[in-house]
Chain A
Amino acid sequence: MSIRIENVSKRFAEFPALDNVSLRLEEGEFVALVGPSGSGKTTLLRLIAGLDFPDTGLIRFGDKDVTSLPAAKRGIGFVFQHYALFNHMTVARNIAFGLDIQPRARRPARDAIQARVTELLALVQLPGLEDRFPAQLSGGQRQRVALARALARDPAILLLDEPFGALDARVRRELRKSLRAIHDAVGVTSILVTHDHEEAFGLADRVAILNDGKVEQFATPEELMANPASPFVKTFIE
């Protein structure tokens, strides 16, 4: 699904979090939003998710205007920095949550849900962990489960908010590789928020560099390195 963000602004109390931002993402693209803290990258991601709403501007998925559609109806998957797994549910129930809560008419049969859970656990390389509880998993495993859960309903768009932020460097590298492989295998449009430009450059097709609520430059990693559009971009990626 392509995503268009048109002249979006958002203020929190007094300071502007996003100031007239426009971006255009192609279908199947992997895009990273990078910037220092307070640059508006997480705010932009939450607006795309429908967890917050812009003051002005439009957000479109494909041809559809989703600007005021709530998160539940956008058909997205969201991965949180601190996993946000449901601690009282097993791994299988966590992953199946988005399917289990659907109204009976649309809900897949029980064994279809079971099969989907098995398939997703294989995809994130955690086969056989169905009956564990989140507290019994390592940080890296938890984030893999969170990823599987976000993918369960076959979202067209996958949104990731600093998904590696709480993990150590080795786990982070492994998970990064898996994430890109999953993105290519599933064929979603992915948006990753990170403050680490090397992570963004290593993963994404294109990178948007944000500063002070504005997009400084949106380009491929190669182009960003070759032609930084502003002094800020130049120092930020050094």
Chain B
Amino acid sequence: MIRRSPLEEGRLARAALIGIAVMFMAVVVVLPLGVVFIEAFKAGLGAWAEAVIEPDARAAIKLTLLVAAIAVPLNMIFGIAAAWAIAKHDFRGKSLLLSLIDLPFSVSPVVSGLIYVLLFGAQGWFGPWLLSNDIQIIFAVPGILLATIFVTFPFVARELIPLMQEQGRSDEEAALSLGANGWQAFWYVTLPNIRWGLLYGVLLCNARAMGEFGAVSVVSGHIRGETNTMPLHVEVLYNEYNFVAAFAVASLLALLALVTLALKSFLEWRHRDAIAAMGH
């Protein structure tokens, strides 16, 4: 008689479940990612490097990093503020605010981009005013920034709200009863309590900010060397049948994502004792 945990299925069922999970991961995640790298290096390291350091590609990389460097910190601040307000306070219109935060997730990215064209484009509501003041938003970096911020703003807030709701208010109340002001309670108590959730939210936000295609595509205008981000540059190259270059830039984009993932795992490993002590 083989002893086993009452929750455990038979050996066959277990093998089947694991097999399905592994197969699915292989087909849906590993294979495509592998193809990107294989195609990228098919013509050799030289061709890969050439495609990546070519001026238009460099401009696209720079723009992508710039957009992420502005959008991510802004959304981090917004996300913390929104989560703090929703989880730790009661006010009228709370559920409305919650739905608004979810809006970018439920709206198609193309629509998100179009909103800005309708607002700031030449034929848009503010178009004539912007034109007469010589301010360009659409088909320029500000538009790309706005679209990216819009699409990525739920990530941090969505990560933090359930966490902060679960943690409740008593830690902050304890800090207040010990003489802390609101800022001290936030800095010394709330922020350390949410730091892992915050890190995760920021990494997800960053991955999406660098990878966003739809919304950015609508407002960018695809001007090579000026308003092309990395995802847009990949598409331009691909449409020109320049597959090696397209996959080379795509592999770099994938690499950036893998680096953020590795960074997260590294931090979790470095601070594993602290995470265990926090109890989650």
**Residues of chain A at the chain B interface (Cβ within 8 Å):** 49-51, 70-73, 76-78, 80, 82, 84-88, 97-98, 101-102, 133-136, 146, 149-150, 152-153, 159
Contacts and interface: CB of A to CB of B under 8 A. Distances in A.
Nearest to A74: B177
A19 to B, nearest CB: 22
Contacts of A73: 179
A71 B176 contact: yes
Contacts of B179: 72-73, 98, 101-102, 153
B21 interface: no
A150 B171 CA distance: 13
Given A101-B178, A135-B279, A71 B173 contact: yes
B22 interface: no
Contacts of A152: 178
A115 to B, nearest CB: 19
| Prevailing SS type, chain B contact patch | helix
Interface string B156-184: 00000000000000110111111111001
Contacts of B279: 87, 135
B276 interface: yes
Given A88-B192, A97-B178, A153-B178, 12 more contacts: A51-B176, A72-B181, A77-B178, A78-B177, A80-B170, A87-B279, A98-B179, A101-B180, A101-B188, A134-B277, A135-B278, A150-B177
Given A149-B178, A153-B179, A84 B278 contact: no
B100 interface: no
Contacts of A50: 176-177
B276 A135 contact: yes
Contacts of B173: 51, 71, 78, 80, 84
A86 B171 contact: yes
Contacts of A102: 179
B260 interface: no
Interface residues of B, number: 21
Contacts of A149: 174, 178
Contacts of A146: 174
Interface in B173-215: 173-181, 184, 188-189, 192-193
A98 B189 CA distance: 12
B173 to A, nearest CB: 5
A132 B193 CA distance: 18
Contact of A84 (B170, B181, B184, B192): B170
A102 B274 CA distance: 26
A201 to B, nearest CB: 27
B279 to A, nearest CB: 6
A72 B277 contact: no
Nearest to A146: B174
Interface in B256-280: 274, 276-279
Q: Which interface residue of B179, B189, B278 has the most chain A CB atoms within 10 A?
A: B179
A152 B179 CA distance: 11
Contacts of A86: 171, 174-175, 188-189, 192
B188 A97 contact: yes
Given A86-B192, A88-B192, A101 B177 contact: no
Nearest to B276: A135
A70 to B, nearest CB: 7
Q: What are the 8 A-B residue pairs with the smallest beta carbon separation, nearest first?
A: A98-B178, A78-B177, A84-B174, A84-B170, A88-B192, A135-B277, A71-B176, A133-B277
A88 B193 CA distance: 7
Contacts of B274: 88
Name the residue among A51, A72, A80, A152 with the largest chain B CB count within 10 angstroms.
A72
